[in-house]
Amino acid sequence: MDEFVELADWFGWQLPHAPVVVDSLPTPNFMVKDRPLVSFSTNNYLGIATSSRTNAAAIAGIGKYGVGNSDSRLLGGNLPLYGELENKIARFNGKTHSILFATGYLANLGALSTLPRVAQIASAFGFKAKRDYTYAYFSDEHNHISIREGMRLSGARRYSYHHLDLDHLEKLLRRSTATSKIIVTDGVFSQDGDIAPIPDLMRLAERWNAMVYVDDAHGTGVLAKLRSLLSTSFAVEAVTLPRASIASRACRSSRRPDLCSTLT
Ligand SMILES: Cc1ncc(COP(=O)(O)O)c(C=O)c1O
């Protein structure tokens, strides 16, 4: 308790950062206290979050199903709609399966904390691995915080490579004795807008028998070239490229919490 009081005293019992309250969300035009402004940081890139078609579909969905799903998907809340949407998203990404998460943050948290523990989780169903596997993550230093948190929760070893530095990454891959290596990168980096060299990462992954995980939050629906690179890469080796295709960016849809982020 003392530490919390000490912290609160230090911050003067105020929030360290008070976000601006806006009267409308960026299209990119938005309003603050009757002042019209333009946002240069919005991720409503395609205007889908505020389009009349999306709004009408959301309202129709609420009319039919209400708000909130009343039960977990695992038990009594699994509407067919979710599976249909997952199939559509998988097809859109040229994949066979996808899983929906409520937000991009949760997609990275859920997937990255779980990947190194799949055998352990499957053991609840009677699975027994033929040998012991050890996992290590190799993460670009500019990756989104949700990636770093997800990896941390997994308990696996983590290595951070210098931003876009493939030589540094290869050095770390060479040194690692993990049986299962997972390279993790943003597709388009959220702060600087630069793009991960997916084909080069795929080549390194092949050389070092690694998997590549791409968080495509800022590429989906926006960067056709990256999309085609991702699809081409995936065609090389089906298990090599799980892809967090985070629709909460271009397809900004987090008002209906089930329809936001996917892992394909
Ligand atoms: C690369 C990346 N991944 C994940 C997220 C988290 O997405 P969400 O806001 O939907 O939780 C963000 C958010 O800015 C992001 O930039």
Q: What is the pLDDT of residues 174-190, one digit of tens each?
A: 999 999 999 999 999 98
Question: From the CA of 14, how far away is ligand 1's center (Å)?
Answer: 26
Q: For ligand 1, what atom is nearest to the CA of residue 43?
A: 14
Q: Relative to the CA of 187, which ligand 1 atom is closest? A: 1
- CATH 3.40.640.10 intervals, the chain: 80-260
Q: Are the C-beta atoms of 263 and 99 separated by less than 8 Å?
A: yes
Q: Which residues, including other chains, have CB under 8 Å from residue 152's CB and lie 6 or more apart?
A: 158
Minimum mean pLDDT among 58-67, 134-143, 158-167, 233-242: which range? 233-242
DSSP string, 131-166: S---EEEEEETT--HHHHHHHHHHT-EEEEEPTT-H
Query: For residue 103, how far is its CA from the centre of ligand 1 (angstroms)?
Result: 8
In CATH terms, 80-260 corresponds, of 3.40.640.10, 3.30.300.130, 3.40.50.720, 3.90.1010.10, to 3.40.640.10
What are the pLDDT digits (tens) for 92-148?
878 888 999 988 999 999 999 999 999 999 999 999 999 999 999 999 999 999 999
Name, in order, each residue with C-beta under 8 angstroms of 67's C-beta and a sequence gap of 6 or more. 256
Question: Best substitution site from 190, 195, 260 to test ligand 1's pocket, by max atoms within 8 Å of Cβ?
Answer: 190
Distance, CA 217 to ligand 1 centroid (Å)? 6
What is the percent of the chain with per-residue pLDDT over 90, rounded to a whole number?
61
Question: When comparing pLDDT for 61 and 68, which is higher?
Answer: 61
- Token pair 């055998």 is found at 119
Q: Is 38 helix (H, G, I), strand (E, B) or coil?
A: strand
Prior bond of 199 cis (ω within 30°) = no
Whole-number Å distance, alpha carbon 56 to ligand 1 midpoint, is: 25
pTM for the model: 0.84
Longest dimension (CA), the chain: 65
Q: Atom 16, ligand 1: which residue's CA is nearest?
A: 190
Joined together, the tokens standing for residue 164 give: 């876009």
Identify the residues whose C-beta falls under 6 Å from ligand 1: 103-105, 108, 144, 146, 186, 190, 215, 217-218, 246, 248, 261
**The pair of three-digit structure tokens given for residue 52, joined into one six-digit string:** 């009349």
Alpha carbons within 13 angstroms on the beta-carbon side of residue 68 total: 2
Cα separation, 169 vs 166, whole angstroms: 5
Nearest protein CA to atom 9 of ligand 1, as residue: 104
> In sequence order, what are the beta bridge partners of 138?
159, 183
The 10s digit of each residue's pLDDT in 216-264 is: 888 877 776 555 555 444 333 333 445 555 544 554 444 333 334 556 6
Contact 261, 101 (CB under 8 A): yes
- Report pLDDT for 243: 57
> What is the Cα–Cα distance from 153 to 163, expressed in whole angstroms?
22
Tell me: pLDDT of 19 over 60.
Answer: yes
Report the separation in Å between the CA atom of 261 and the middle of ligand 1, taken as the mean of its atom positions: 9
Q: What is the pLDDT of residue 245?
A: 53
Give me the helices (H) in the chain, please: 2-10, 52-65, 80-92, 104-114, 118-122, 145-154, 166-175, 198-207, 224-236
